[in-house]
Amino acid sequence: MGINSERRVGAFNFATVLALCLGSLTYGYSFSVTSTTLGQPSFFSYFNLSNDELSPSYAFTNRIIGGLNGCFSGGGFLGAIFGGWACDALGRKKTLLVCTPIGVLGGALQGGSVNLAMLLAGRLIGGFAVGVLMVLVPLFQSEIAPPATRGFLVSQHGVVVVFGYSAAAWIGYGCYFSTMPAFQWRFPLCLQALWPLVMFILTPFLPESPRWLLMKNRPREAWDVLQKLHDTKNSLDRSSFAKMELYQITKQVAEDQEMSSSETVWTLFTKASYRKRMICAFLVMFGSESTGILVVYNYSVLLYEGLGFTGSIPLLLAAAYVTVAFCGNYISSLLVDRIGRKTSLVIGISGCGVSLIFEAALSATYVGTTNHAGLSAGVFFLFLFISFYGCFVDAATYVYCSEIFPTHIRSRGMSWSLAILFLSTVAYLIPAPTAFAQVGWKYHLLFILLTAIQAPLLWIMLPETKGLALEEIGEKFGDHVAVHITQLASDEKDEVERMFVESIEPQIRNIGTS
């Protein structure tokens, strides 16, 4: 039986992946809601902030705006570190039960804020919750997805993250027309609490990761989960992908556990194969953020205002912008298993860099003028930028970083990856309002330079991982693989099945009947 022909995704498997995407929605909506909040005049009035560049208090406003994003990203960094520990110590399901109520609290504090301190505290707490979720969701999805469709399934995380961006943008646009000033900005902020609340309610119905269960010496539970994920019921007598996968995971986990007994956290940086993974994860996450994506989006309303658009139009353009990103991420989920992770990332980051070159040139020439054609061209290149990012970069980053680490260090590897993401957003987002106010289009030059460096580095450094089982990817980084079950010749497949029947099938029968 060849694994490459095993492209069918079971209904329970797909439902579990989609349920986990509520965590993706929590991040996407919570991060994006700041952008639409900055388009609501009533928000500025309530907190006595000024959006007039000539006002003496404008500098203070920029610091508060930077602080809103800085608190969220700082909380995300702390949450990512905690998530790396919790996913291993508590398990994937229990970690969800811990972090989702924290997300509800963060959203409630922001929506009910009566002063800036309460608002900033809510952003910090909400950021912590999504930091955990951003580690957990793609990790969990990668551990339950079949190899042939893992890219598509894990990409749904990226798709729903951007759906969250889009939902926040359109809700913010609709609330702009409310006749109740408080509702305009409080309602979108309050909605942040809904998504983690639903996630909390659904979590008891989700399975635990079979790989985590095997790491904890709970093979019977792992086998039950694999049967559900692959819709094999109790058909122990017929050869199935679930049985093959259990065989491979069991063998690799045993080998990994033997290795891990002598490892410490520093082994992540001292062992050559682990260190290469850490470097690749850093390059992927730092490279994706160094396109300037979150700066461009999170301050998109301010950018459109700088390009001469007023009233509700900046909010409408921001909503359309993330809708394009959402569609692009779905296209990415269809492409990533076909063209590969590395190719996708390099095409996307290169396209983002080129788009920013034109955007910077047009902004330098036409911002502050009434040239309609030039300003419209500026909007076009912002949309071209997000098309490249959505179609090739966004979802692929989570797919790649969730699959390159072996099971026993996967949560720590994802923790590292997301910590890099959140630290990058802190570095770029906090100074962004002041940078745009003081140097304007020149701030784009930073991201143009970084994308020019990152694209060739990714092409040189990243091993391709498409189509391989999680346990086989280690070979790309120099680790030993206990069992191969993908991309085998016919005689090799027969040999693996013979080994399976002789050594593992009796154990499965015992598990099923004990």
Alpha-carbon span 353 to 252, nearest angstrom: 40
- The amino acid sitting at 98 is V
Instruction: Tell whether 73 is covered by a domain.
Output: yes
Instruction: Tell whether 489 is covered by a domain.
Output: no
Q: What is the per-residue pLDDT for 428?
A: 83
Buried b (16+ CB within 10 A) or exposed e, 428-448: bbbbbbbbbbeeebebbebbb
Instruction: Tell whether 138 is covered by a domain.
Output: yes
Cα end-to-end distance, the chain, whole Å: 28
Say if residues 314 and 305 touch (Cβ distance below 8 Å).
Answer: yes
Instruction: Tell whether 98 is covered by a domain.
Output: yes
List the CATH number of the domain containing 378: 1.20.1250.20
Alpha-carbon span 61 to 52, nearest angstrom: 10
Instruction: Tell whether 514 is covered by a domain.
Output: no
Domain containing residue 36:
25-221+253-259+271-477
Q: What is the pLDDT of residues 122-138, one digit of tens each?
A: 999 999 999 999 999 99
Q: What is the per-residue pLDDT for 488?
A: 53
How many structural domains comprise the chain?
1
Say if residues 103 and 134 touch (Cβ distance below 8 Å).
Answer: no
Distance of CA 187 to the CA centre of its chain: 25
Say if residues 195 and 22 touch (Cβ distance below 8 Å).
Answer: yes
Alpha-carbon span 403 to 154, nearest angstrom: 10
Residue 261 phi/psi, 5-degree rounding, is -60, -25
Q: What is the pLDDT of residues 220-275, one digit of tens each?
A: 888 889 888 877 554 443 346 777 788 788 888 888 887 777 788 888 899 999 99
Task: Return averaged pLDDT per consecutive 10 residues of the chain, 514 residues in all.
Answer: 53 92 94 83 86 68 83 92 94 96 96 93 96 95 88 92 89 90 93 96 95 89 86 50 78 81 84 95 94 75 70 79 88 92 96 93 82 82 92 93 92 92 83 75 89 96 91 90 65 56 59 49
Q: What is the per-residue pLDDT for 254?
A: 83
Instruction: Tell whether 433 is covered by a domain.
Output: yes
Q: Please choose, from the candidates 22, 186, 24, 200, the residue with its C-alpha nearest in 3D space to the C-alpha of residue 107.
A: 186
Instruction: Tell whether 2 is covered by a domain.
Output: no
Phi/psi zone of residue 406: left (φ > 0), alpha (ψ -120 to 50 degrees), beta?
beta
- According to DSSP, residue 463 is labeled P
Question: Could you write out the three-class secondary structure of 188-218?
Answer: HHHHHHHHHHHHHHHHHHCCCCHHHHHHCCC
Q: Please choose, from the candidates 208, 26, 8, the residue with its C-alpha nearest in 3D space to the C-alpha of residue 132.
A: 26
| ∠ CA 83-171-62, rounded to 5° | 70
Alpha-carbon span 27 to 192, nearest angstrom: 9
Q: Please choose, from the candidates 175, 181, 156, the residue with its C-alpha nearest in 3D space to the C-alpha of residue 13.
A: 156
Count other C-beta atoms under 10 Å from residue 457's C-beta.
15
Say if residues 135 and 416 touch (Cβ distance below 8 Å).
Answer: no
Class of residue 139 by CB neighbours under 10 A (exposed 0-12, middle 13-18, buried 19+) = buried
- Name 205's Cβ contacts closer than 8 Å, sequence gap at least 6: 19
- Using the structure block, give the residue that is written with the tokens 């040189």: 460
Instruction: Tell whether 512 is covered by a domain.
Output: no
Distance of CA 2 to the CA centre of its chain: 30
Q: What is the per-residue pLDDT for 237?
A: 37
Say if residues 159 and 330 touch (Cβ distance below 8 Å).
Answer: yes
Kindly report the pTM of this predicted structure. 0.82
